[in-house]
Amino acid sequence: MPSLDFLHISLADQCLYGFAQGQLRVRLPVSTAIKGAGEVNGSGCTPRGLHQVRAKIGAGLPQGAVLRGRRWTGEIWAPALHAQFPERDWILTRILWLSGCEPGYNRMGPVDTFRRYIYLHGTPDCEPMGVPLSHGCVRLRNADLLDLFDQVPLHCPVRIEQAACPEWARAPLN
C-alpha cells in the first residue's frame, strides 16, 4: 500500500480520512476531545487547522504498549491494569505527535499544538470510538493505529476541521 500523503480529521464525523495521490484510501473512527474544538493550552480541546506529523513514536513496540511521557513504561494494557489505574488517560501502542502549521492559530504561544502534546494515539479497545471522549488528542483503535503508523510519513499534513467530511469521502473504499 502506498504511503498516505494527507490526513483529514472531521470532528463532526469523529472520523479520520487518509488520502494517497488524491484518492481516499483509509477511513477510521476516532474519538476527539469531550470539550470540543479549541486551540488554547490547557483547554482540553482538540485543535483545528493544518498540522503536520512532527514525530512518530513507538515503532516496534507491542500492540497495547503503555506510553507515558512518550516513553514505554514496560507495561502492556490489560483490563486488570486498567482496573488498577482507572484514572489514567491511556496512551497506547504508538504516537503520531502533531505540530501546528498556522502561527497564532495552532502554532507558537498559548495555542501551540506541539507544546500541548496533541497526538494521534491508541486507546483501550473498551473505549468507544465515534464519540468525543479524549482530553484533546485524537484516539484510535490500537489495530487501526498500527496500520496507519506505517503508512504515514514524517511531516504528513493533517487537517483537523469541525465540519463533516464531504459526501464523496463517505463512499465505499476501493
Q: Which of 45, 51, 121, 156 is catalytic?
A: 121
Does residue 173 register a pLDDT over 80?
Answer: no
Query: ∠ CA(165), CA(59), CA(134), 5° rounding?
Result: 45
Q: How confident is the model at residue 174 (pLDDT cuts 50, 70, 90)?
A: low
Whether residue 1 is contained in a domain is answered as: no
Whether residue 118 is contained in a domain is answered as: yes
Does the CA dihedral 134-139-142-146 come out positive or negative?
negative
Does residue 51 register a pLDDT over 90?
Answer: yes
pLDDT tens-place string over residues 52-110: 999 999 999 999 999 999 999 999 999 999 999 988 999 999 999 999 999 999 999 99
How far apart (Å, rounded) are the C-alpha atoms in residues 72 and 16?
Answer: 25
pLDDT tens-place string over residues 23-44: 999 999 999 999 999 999 999 9
Task: Name the pTM for this structure.
Answer: 0.94
Q: Is 155 part of the annotated catalytic residue set?
A: no
Q: Which of 15, 45, 51, 137 is catalytic?
A: 137
Whether residue 121 is contained in a domain is answered as: yes
Q: Is 51 part of the annotated catalytic residue set?
A: no
CATH code assigned at 89: 2.40.440.10
Q: How many domains does the chain have?
A: 1
Contact present, 76 and 70 (Cβ < 8 Å):
no
Does residue 164 register a pLDDT over 90?
Answer: no
Domain residue limits at 129: 6-170
